[in-house]
Each structure stands twice: as C-alpha cells, then as structure tokens.
C-alpha cells in the first residue's frame, strides 16, 4: 500500500495528506478557511498554498469572516504587500466578498456546513479510483456547488476549485484505493 502519489515531495504535503485531506469536515469556520485557500490556489499548486497557510491565517485574522468582511482599502494594500501570502488583488477582494456572502448565509439562519454538504446528500461520496488518471477535475456535483455558491455571492468558486474543495473537505473520498488513507477516511467520523 502506498500513498496517493500527489502528496510526495515534502513532509508538510505528506502530513496534510495523512491527517487532513479527505477527512469529512463540518466546522463552518474551517470550511470557510478552506474555501478561501482553495480560491487562492487557482492557477497555482496546493503545495504553494499549504506552505503559506499559517501566514494566511495570520494575515486574514484567523479567517474570521466578521473581520474579513470589514477589510478596507488600507487592509487590502497591506495584504498586497504581504509576501507570506499570494499577492493577487482579485483573490484578496474575493476573500472579502466571500466573507460577506458567508455572513449573509448565516444571517439567513443557514449553517455553511449544511449549505455545502447538501450537494452530496450529507454523506461523503466514496470513490474507488485505482490511479490518478481516473480522478476527475470536476463533476456535475461540483458544477452544481459552483453555481449555488456563485448565486449566493461567492467568488473564485469555479467547478474545478469546488471539486478540489470537496476533496479536501471530505465530501468526496478521492484517496486512491491503493492508499491506506482511503479506508481510514471512509471509516473516520466527521470533524
């Protein structure tokens, strides 16, 4: 049994694969953070974002949506000057908009977790991929999630980003069947 090959290369990547990736996640704040980070990844590798994750947590006030929704031009300028994150204006503005959209969902009495997990009928999809070539970049469910997030006001939530988010959040188990984490994640309780 070997790990999914995408996680080989450096210790932090393997640790992420072995402890977080694919574990069903239901914590609203953690899901919000993950959505922002997946959007930041667009056009880059997850390794790049993972290496900067702690910097992101500091720069974005622990991913507190109330604080992020209030960011002004001065804060945007400070973020654009922060070499510890991806300095992309569109992605930073999207994070602020996403905080506002998140707060609007909560104000409507809906948890972010419930909103997201309904796209897999509240149960992780257990895929049975034998090779990385079989793993899709997007699916009809990620298409639907992308459209629903867009309608709710979220940005940087295209279908490919949404599918990567669904994999990370454990909405789909895309560990290869040859990876020991496939069975471990399948039997793991939600976080």
Per annotation, catalytic residue among 13, 21, 33, 46: 46
Tokens 């009495």, residue located: 109
Residue 71 known to be catalytic = no
Task: For 30-60, give the DSSP string.
Answer: HHHHHHHHHHHHTTS-HHHHHHHHHHHHHHT
3-state secondary structure of 179: coil
If residue 77 lies in a helix (H) or strand (E), which one and from where to where? helix 73-80
Respond yes or no: is residue 46 known to be catalytic: yes
Q: Which of 13, 21, 38, 163 is catalytic?
A: 38
Helix or strand (DSSP H, E) at 172: strand 172-173
Structure tokens at 41: 């990844």
Q: Is 184 one of the catalytic residues?
A: no
Q: Using the CB atoms, write b or e for 94-108: b if 16+ within 10 Å.
A: bbbbbbebbbebbee
166 closest CA partner among 142, 134, 189, 190: 142
Catalytic residue positions?
16, 38, 46
């Amino acid at each position: 049994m070997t790990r999914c090959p995408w996680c080989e290369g450096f210790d932090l990547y393997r640790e992420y694969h072995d402890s977080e990736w694919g574990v069903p996640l239901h914590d609203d704040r953690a899901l919000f953070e993950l959505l922002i980070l997946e959007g930041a990844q667009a056009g880059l590798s997850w390794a790049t974002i993972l290496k900067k994750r702690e910097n992101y947590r500091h720069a974005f006030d622990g991913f507190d949506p109330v604080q992020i929704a209030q960011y002004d031009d001065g804060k945007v300028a400070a973020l654009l000057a922060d070499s510890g994150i991806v300095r992309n204006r569109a992605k930073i503005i999207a994070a602020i908009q996403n905080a506002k959209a998140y707060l609007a969902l909560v104000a409507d009495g809906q948890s972010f977790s419930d909103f997201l997990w309904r796209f897999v009928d509240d149960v992780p999809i257990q895929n049975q991929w034998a090779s990385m070539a079989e793993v899709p970049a997007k699916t009809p469910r990620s298409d639907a999630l992308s459209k629903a997030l867009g309608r709710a006001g979220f940005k940087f939530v295209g279908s490919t980003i949404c599918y990567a988010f669904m994999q990370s959040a454990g909405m789909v188990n895309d560990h290869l069947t040859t990876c020991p984490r496939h069975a471990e994640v399948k039997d793991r309780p939600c976080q």
